[in-house]
Amino acid sequence: TLERLANTDRLTGLWNRLKFEQVAHLEIGRAERYAYPLSLLFLDLDHFKLINDLHGHETGDKVLCNLAKLIAKHLRESDSLGRWGGEEFLILMPHTDLQQALQLAEKLRSLIAGSQLLEQQTVSASFGVSQLAPGETLRDLARNADSALYRAKSLGRNRVEAQHLAAMPIPDINE
C-alpha cells in the first residue's frame, strides 16, 4: 500500500513523476544496451485553466481522470503513462521510433478532440514527441519533447509536433 501511494498520482491513479523517472531511466538503459528505439510523448491539455475557471476544479479533476483513462485504453502494455504535473502527461514508448510515436500522438490527439471529456464543450491537447538519440539522458529526451510541445502550443494548439529532425543522428546505411 505504501509503495502504491508513493508511486501513483493521487488524482488519476497514473504513475507520478518520481516513478515515471525511475522507469524511464531503466528503459533508457535497456534501449541503449539492446539498440532499440525509444520515444517520449509529452501532452498538455489546451486552455485547461479556462476549464477550471469556468467549471470549477472538481470538473477539471474529472476531465483529467477521464483523459487518463482514455489514453490508457489506447496504449500497449509496454508503454509507460504518467502524470508529469498539472495537465501534463508523458508516455514512454519502447521499441517505438519517432514516426511511430508521431502516429500514436496524432491518434490520441484526434481521440481527445472527439471525446466528451467535458459536457457540451470540446477539449483538445497539444503534443510534443521526441526519440532518444545515442548518449542522451532522460533530461535531454524530455527537453526535446517539451520543446516540441511548446512549438505545438505556439503554432495554434490541438496539434502534434516533433523534435527537429536535424537533431536526430543520421543512420549509416553501410552498417
Cell 545515442: give the residue: 134
DSSP 76-107: -TT-EEEEEETTEEEEEEET--HHHHHHHHHH
- Exposed e or buried b per residue across 21-43, where buried means at least 16 C-beta atoms within 10 angstroms of its C-beta: beebeebbeebeeeeebbbbbbb
Nearest CA among 100, 99, 109, 45 for reference residue 78: 100
Q: Residues 87, 88, 106, 119: which is the catalytic one? A: 87
Residue type, 115: S
Cell 543522428: give the residue: 169
Cell 504518467: give the residue: 82
Q: Using only C-alpha atoms, what is the Rg of the chain? A: 16
Q: Is 106 a catalytic residue?
A: no
CB 70 within 8 A of CB 111: yes
- 3-state SS class at 162: strand
CB 128 within 8 A of CB 145: yes
Report, as residue numbers or ranges, the catalytic residues. 87
